[in-house]
Structure 1
Amino acid sequence: MYAVVKTGGKQYRVAAGEKLKVEQIPADVGAEITLDQILMVGEGESVKIGAPLVAGATVKATVLAQGRHDKVKIFKMRRRKHYQKHQGHRQYFTELRIDAINA
């Protein structure tokens, strides 16, 4: 069984037992959270597609870690103009383990 969930403005295809990194969710490490914005649930040939959400479907997940991704380096330059700009960014993430999908 798999589901397509929406969190942090992005969509993820998840299945039970998978680990994934999503945009930061304010929760403690070890806490169990419920994702309720489920766009699609599928099992084999049967697929339920929400309009826009699947009614009554939830995904249970456990927070494994809170952290920051690797640094993304931004470098802007205009040739022959003596202009260079350096910038960096590290995005926060929450690592989840998908425990169960309830359709």
Structure 2
Amino acid sequence: MFAVVRTGGKQYRVAAGDKIAVEKLAGDAGDTVTLGDVLLAGEGDKLADASKVSVSAEIIAQAKSEKVVVFKKRRRHNYRRKAGHRQQMTLLRITDVGEVAKKAPAKKAAAKTEDAPKKAPANKAAPKKEAAEKKAPAKKAPAKKAAAKKPAAKK
């Protein structure tokens, strides 16, 4: 099975066992990451529902890419500037491209949301009162205009 995932502003076609270099991801070598933004998935010529597919990968190493040299020059002005840049990247080994089991996390999320409304009204009332109290003294009297200076009389 293959998938097209988006990470670091780029798209990659991956399958289990592939090695790819992507923009830097948080984590150390040996950590497992899930590439959640799956754009397309399929098996051979058939396409699957991308929302039900998950891609997991193992971080092989954190490294830097090849150096990019930036050179600026203005002819006949003795102006030369040379700079280099090495982009941080993460080397990944795709371990699995497959279906996601979303039933277990959904139950936990539902349990948390049931508890949240019970506590929410008590917590929400206090900040509204504080916000109203803070806004009331914020009104200021308009600034007084400075008296215009009259020209001095000549003697």
- What TM-score does the superposition give when structure 1 sets the normalisation length? 0.89
Larger Rg: 2
Deviation (angstroms), 1:75: 0.4
2:94 — aligned with what? 98
Measured on the aligned residues, the alpha-carbon RMSD in Å equals: 1.3
| Matches of 1:80 and 1:46, distance apart in 2 | 61
| Matches of 2:66 and 2:47, distance apart in 1 | 36
Deviation (angstroms), 1:10: 0.8
Whichever residue aligns with residue 42 of structure 1, its letter is G
* Bigger strand fraction: 1
Whichever residue aligns with residue 78 of structure 1, its letter is R
Gapped runs of 5+ residues in structure 1? none
Q: Among residues 55, 62, 83, which one is paired with 2:79 in the alignment?
A: 83
| Matches of 1:97 and 1:38, distance apart in 2 | 16
Higher relative contact order (CA 8 A, sep 6+): 1
Q: Give the 4+ runs in structure 1 shifted more than 2 A.
A: none
Asked if residue 66 in structure 1 is aligned to residue 53 in structure 2, the reply is no
* Bigger helix fraction: 2
Whichever residue aligns with residue 88 of structure 1, its letter is G
Deviation (angstroms), 1:48: 3.6
What is the aligned residue count?
99
SS at 1:84 equivalent: strand
Percent identity, please: 46
1:38 — aligned with what? 38
